[in-house]
Amino acid sequence: MSTGDDPILAPLNAGQRAAVLHGDGPALVVAGAGSGKTRVLSHRIAYLLAHLNISPFGLLAITFTNKAAGEMRERIGSLVGPVAQRMWISTFHSACARILRSHADVLGYPATFSIYDQADSRRLTRYVVRDLDLDPKRYNERAVHAAISTMKNQLRTPTHAAELADSPDGGGPFNRDVARVYSEYQKRMRRAGAMDFDDLLMLGVELLTTHGDVAEHYRQRFSHILVDEYQDTNLAQVRLIGLLSGPAQNVFVVGDSDQSIYAFRGADISNILEFGATFDRASTYVLEQNYRSSQAILDTANSVIRNNLGRPPKNLWTDQSGGAKPIRYRGTNEEDEARYVCSELRRLHGEGRIDWSDAAIFYRSNAQSRVIEEELVANDVPYQIIGGTRFYDRREIKDALAFLRAAVNPSDEVSLKRVVNLPARGIGDRTIAKLDDVAARGDTSIAEVIDGLESLGVRGTARGGLLQFRELMGRARAQIPNGPAAVLEVALAESGYVQALQDEGTVEADGRLEHLEELAGAAADFEDCDEFLEQVSLVSDVDAMTDASQVSLMTLHSAKGLEFDIVLVTGMEDGVFPHHRSMTDPIELEEERRLAYVGITRARKQLYLTHAWSRLLHGQTSYNPPSRFIEEIPPELIDDRSPDTGRYGSSWRPATSDWGANRGAGVRSDSGTGPASEYSQLDEAELAASPQQRADPARHDDSTSKGRESRREEARRRVAARLGEPKPAPKADLGYGVGDDVLHARFGAGVVQEVRPDGDDWEVTVHFADIGTKTLVASFADLRRLRSSGPAQTH
């Protein structure tokens, strides 16, 4: 076939083209990071439409986020024109929601079923635990709901779960109780006409398994199924693909086992590794040329990921040789790290080398974003946060949506309970409990109990409140034909919710009112309430991302599938990343490593890996060694810009090699701290300073001007005001305290973790670079303080 000027085939390399031209039957495209897998997917679709004349209605394309779906639709549109608008391109969850809306009745759900997010699901879990008289401490909703979620992802029904829990090796009473909660939870979900995220998949499978006619309908319809990010599918999703694909098995999947990072929500990496076993006669195409990153970045990525065992060999290469080495920086603490990140961004921007939108800052968990945010605010760097507390997680937004859901689906227990006393109208816990009780006995919903209120022994304020609420919801419901904006308007205005916020008159309340207006604006774009609710329930974090000129902040998980010129991965410390909960399990640790690989491979031109000597997280200061993932990168691949490089190594080990060789002698003179022998000298001036001053990291920075200094100080102050001033480390009478670097004659350098009084003496716990943590008696140990935690002093 001549491909010379075909816009669909011409831009592809040989490997990509082979995949796009794949014939019938299942195909797996193993696509390394940056190898153009989205391109293959969209060109494959364009090829099916334009060259093979497949109907756009015959295609089902699954992407990982709605944003990715929109982008793919656009790309296909540019290749084949407006037919792209009519294709099913969506996430698994959206596709299932759509199918289930049409057939919910056969499963005993209303077509207007509510979709519960995690918070709603946990709330219901809590109700169930309480109602089953289980100890809410032992059976905390978080853990119990996570267990239920896992079972659902493995397509385990409540009956199945109960049988398993009863079997001899079923895990004892705890699992039996969890199985009970699961069963009751599922009953309540059905009674509430609600599905959680896992239900969308599990009930989708159930629908297609138990109703052959429905399955046949979709099999007839979809001649081709295409799936992106296949390495992150779970059992339910693979089953869905199997059920939706007819005997032809035209299943075309794309993925990279090295980027599988969602095991915690049921994703199973073996789905991609054993694709051939699930779908016979599968063809495999391998894409190894990376078009995104420089050689320096790829080398870094490869040096990390090769530490994972049992991965299929892969040889990612690029013809963009060279490139800037990844930069490593170790901050004094998390604020110093944030300052560095911010100052680098300002420098690059100031030199005209980047637009703000070219850069992204990644972190392992959302809690890490705040410090960085403060610093960006203080320095007028525009940014957007992806994820974290999403717009739709805000209280007032959840309240408003609960009003809407309760109007659309009166059975919805969680939503109704949320708004029944909003704003306060005298309906307290006792009244709710009474309604609950009546509902449970009659196996009906609370809404129906309220409908029959007159026959109940509820009187006084509660009775009045319930009558008022019933009337309110009646009026709201009457607006459903007029669309979600109308329902929200009536519910929020006539309930007095808006009035209550206005009366409050605080800045915070004003903010909430603004959010509600924003929500009303979004709702006005929809005519159908269900459609609107589904939309807002299934938006992903990255869906909200804009391409405005802003630096993007997000978790490493959210970063999957994105790319930036400049990527800064922060918090590269053992215990933070890899997360401490993952460090003891080799399987989980490998997943963390894949997450590191994902982060690194997002960068096109310049990668930064930063970490901090000490970190205040969750109200606790910890001293984490540099991430093992950093240590896995050969030193010669990295440009270490840590202020005290060469002191005793990049980590807690004494420097054994001249790994700063690429920067030559500049390493030391840059830091401006003099030769190594001085490091062990006690700094009298510093000892004399107050703990407060000593704890002040701003002083440690030796490269800043006065102006920036004061801005930093300002930012630091505000952070401190919000967190409560960090407690200065107790100095005992030892000349060193928690957080200080100390030297032991035999054990070498270490960091003091804890100091406890021990009679007349002190017991000191020290983490040593070479031998790990030891607890010593101070008078025998003869520890000598090296310096305070942090780079050298400037005065």
Q: Closer to DNA at the Cβ: 93 or 292?
A: 93
Q: Closer to DNA at the Cβ: 143 or 277?
A: 143
Query: Strand pairing of 194-196 and 224-227?
Result: unpaired
Choose, by CB under 7 A, the member of 39, 75, 93, 328 that binds DNA: 93
Our finding on whether 616 is near DNA (CB under 7 A) is no
Q: Closer to DNA at the Cβ: 366 or 753?
A: 366
Convert residues 716-735 into a mask of x (bound to DNA by CB under 7 A) and - (unbound): ------xx------------
Total chain residues near DNA (CB under 7 A): 51
Q: Closer to DNA at the Cβ: 490 or 554?
A: 554
**Residues between 313 and 342 that touch DNA (CB under 7 A):** none
In angstroms, what is the minimal distance from the CB of 188 to DNA?
17
SS3 content of the chain, % helix, strand, coil (to 5): 50, 15, 35
Q: Closer to DNA at the Cβ: 726 or 748?
A: 726
Choose, by CB under 7 A, the member of 160, 265, 346, 767 that binds DNA: 265
Near DNA by CB under 7 A, which window of 239-247, 318-326, 537-545, 600-608?
537-545
779, containing H or E segment? helix 778-781
Q: Closer to DNA at the Cβ: 54 or 377?
A: 377
Q: Closer to DNA at the Cβ: 619 or 707?
A: 619
Q: Which residue has the tokens 């779908």?
A: 279
Our finding on whether 512 is near DNA (CB under 7 A) is no
Our finding on whether 364 is near DNA (CB under 7 A) is yes
Task: Decide if 38 is catalytic.
Answer: yes
In whole angstroms, give the CA distance from residue 230 to residue 560.
13
- What does the DSSP assignment read for 360-425? EEEESSGGGHHHHHHHHHHTT--EEE-SSS-GGGSHHHHHHHHHHHHHH-TT-HHHHHHHTTSS--
* Alpha-carbon 735 to chain mean position: 43
Our finding on whether 602 is near DNA (CB under 7 A) is no
Give burial (CB, 10 Å; 0-12/13-18/19+) of 18: middle
What is the rounded radius of gyration, in angstroms, for the C-alpha atoms of the chain?
29
Our finding on whether 138 is near DNA (CB under 7 A) is no
**Residues between 749 and 768 that touch DNA (CB under 7 A):** none
In angstroms, what is the minimal distance from the CB of 489 to DNA?
24
Our finding on whether 462 is near DNA (CB under 7 A) is yes
DSSP for residue 730: P
Choose, by CB under 7 A, the member of 13, 461, 651, 703 that binds DNA: 461
Choose, by CB under 7 A, the member of 113, 182, 197, 230 that binds DNA: 197
Task: Decide if 228 is catalytic.
Answer: yes
Identified catalytic residue from 196, 199, 229, 574: 229
146, containing H or E segment? helix 141-153
Identified catalytic residue from 17, 37, 122, 191: 37
In whole angstroms, give the CA distance from residue 231 to residue 449.
47
Our finding on whether 395 is near DNA (CB under 7 A) is yes
- 335, 371 in Cβ contact below 8 A? yes
Task: Decide if 353 is catalytic.
Answer: no
Which alpha helices (DSSP H) does 689-737 contain, by range? 691-695, 706-723
Our finding on whether 289 is near DNA (CB under 7 A) is no
Q: Closer to DNA at the Cβ: 49 or 589?
A: 589
Our finding on whether 174 is near DNA (CB under 7 A) is no
Identified catalytic residue from 186, 237, 259, 300: 259
Packed helices 334-350 and 369-378: angle between N→C axes, nearest 10 degrees = 50
In whole angstroms, give the CA distance from residue 166 to residue 575.
37
Our finding on whether 86 is near DNA (CB under 7 A) is no
Our finding on whether 259 is near DNA (CB under 7 A) is no
CA-to-CA dists, residue 637 to 359, 646, 667, angstroms: 21, 16, 15
729 token code pair: 């480390």
In whole angstroms, give the CA distance from residue 599 to residue 601.
6
In angstroms, what is the minimal distance from the CB of 529 to DNA?
20
Near DNA by CB under 7 A, which window of 90-98, 478-486, 490-498, 520-528?
90-98
Our finding on whether 229 is near DNA (CB under 7 A) is no
CA-to-CA dists, residue 147 to 124, 142, 144, 265, angstroms: 14, 9, 5, 11
Choose, by CB under 7 A, the member of 37, 73, 75, 557 that binds DNA: 557
Neighbours of 310 (CB within 10 A): 7
By C-alpha distance, which of 770, 766, 708, 370 is closest to 571? 370
In angstroms, what is the minimal distance from the CB of 103 to DNA?
20
Amino acid letter, 223: S
Taken in order 461, 462, 468, 469, the sign of the CA dihedral is positive
Neighbours of 514 (CB within 10 A): 11
Residue 45 phi, psi (nearest 5) = -65, -45
Convert residues 57-76 into a mask of x (bound to DNA by CB under 7 A) and - (unbound): --------x-----------
Convert residues 674-693 into a mask of x (bound to DNA by CB under 7 A) and - (unbound): --------------------
In whole angstroms, give the CA distance from residue 611 to residue 617.
13
Our finding on whether 429 is near DNA (CB under 7 A) is yes
Q: Which residue has the tokens 């004094």?
A: 332
Question: Partners of 554 in the beta sheet?
Answer: 362
Convert residues 365-384 into a mask of x (bound to DNA by CB under 7 A) and - (unbound): xxx-----------------
In whole angstroms, give the CA distance from residue 499 to residue 513.
10
- 728, 691 in Cβ contact below 8 A? yes
Give burial (CB, 10 Å; 0-12/13-18/19+) of 455: exposed
Identified catalytic residue from 120, 141, 177, 228: 228
159, containing H or E segment? helix 158-166
Task: Decide if 370 is catalytic.
Answer: no
Identified catalytic residue from 122, 156, 602, 712: 602
Choose, by CB under 7 A, the member of 125, 332, 445, 558 that binds DNA: 558
72, containing H or E segment? helix 66-80
**Residues between 562 and 601 that touch DNA (CB under 7 A):** 579, 581-582
Task: Decide if 274 is catalytic.
Answer: no
Q: Closer to DNA at the Cβ: 305 or 462?
A: 462
Choose, by CB under 7 A, the member of 120, 177, 184, 198 that binds DNA: 198
**Residues between 617 and 646 that touch DNA (CB under 7 A):** 618-620
Q: Closer to DNA at the Cβ: 279 or 497?
A: 497
Choose, by CB under 7 A, the member of 72, 162, 538, 600 that binds DNA: 538
- 613, 623 in Cβ contact below 8 A? yes
In angstroms, what is the minimal distance from the CB of 581 to DNA?
4
Task: Decide if 602 is catalytic.
Answer: yes
Our finding on whether 42 is near DNA (CB under 7 A) is no
Choose, by CB under 7 A, the member of 149, 186, 223, 245 that binds DNA: 149
In angstroms, what is the minimal distance from the CB of 196 to DNA?
8
Please identify every residue annotated as catalytic: 37-38, 228-229, 259, 602
The residues binding DNA (CB under 7 A) are 65, 91, 93-94, 117-119, 123, 126, 136, 142, 146, 149, 197-198, 264-265, 364-367, 387, 389, 395, 421, 424-431, 461-462, 538, 540-542, 554-555, 557-558, 579, 581-582, 618-620, 722-723
